[in-house]
Amino acid sequence: RDEERLLFHLENSPLAVVEWNKDYIVTRWSKEATRLFGYDSAEVLGKRIDALQLIHEDDIPIVEQTMGRLSSGRERTVVSENRNVTRAGKIIHCVWHNSVLTDAAGKMSSVMSLVQDVTAERSAKASLERTIASLRVLVTNSGEYMLLLDSDGVVLCSSRYAAAALGYGSKELEGKRWQDF
């Protein structure tokens, strides 16, 4: 009954659930894993996790390092982030929350990964960084009294006119809260 309840929760998790044994053979593949990666469980169960071509080629060293950390037995949980490739060839960014079960000898017997797609968050962050960079250029070169603040009121940059009016150089204002002036 407990196993039935656990399986229900795993299958209804908003995170993809992937489990593999000590030989990196996939033993569990949730519905969310199918939705995220595009492979049906029948296509992946019984195959090595690294043979599925889910890993972006440039991120293979990251995954190899993570797999080494997991199999070493010294760490019970390892969180890693890498790019994955879906069945349709789309590149997505995922955070893998890996937990290791060990046998009596302390050797890895299985790993369960909860996989979170963070593609939208990474894209939004990159867009925000580009916007801030553009705003920095605009504010820094402005002939007006301007400060660019973050959401906490910390000065990101200023025009030279605003800095001079406050008795500072532009770089001196950066990192300070505007309320302190």
pLDDT at 13: 86
Reported as a single tens digit per residue, the pLDDT across 101-151 is: 988 888 889 999 999 999 999 999 999 999 999 998 999 899 899 999 999
| Farthest-apart Cα atoms in the chain, separation | 71
Q: Identify the weakest region by mean pLDDT among 1-15, 19-33, 60-74.
A: 1-15
Give percent of the chain with pLDDT exceeding 70.
100
pLDDT at 114: 96
Average pLDDT, the chain: 91
For residues 78 and 98, is the Cβ–Cβ distance under 8 A?
A: yes
Rounded to whole angstroms, how far apart are CA atoms 94 and 84? 7
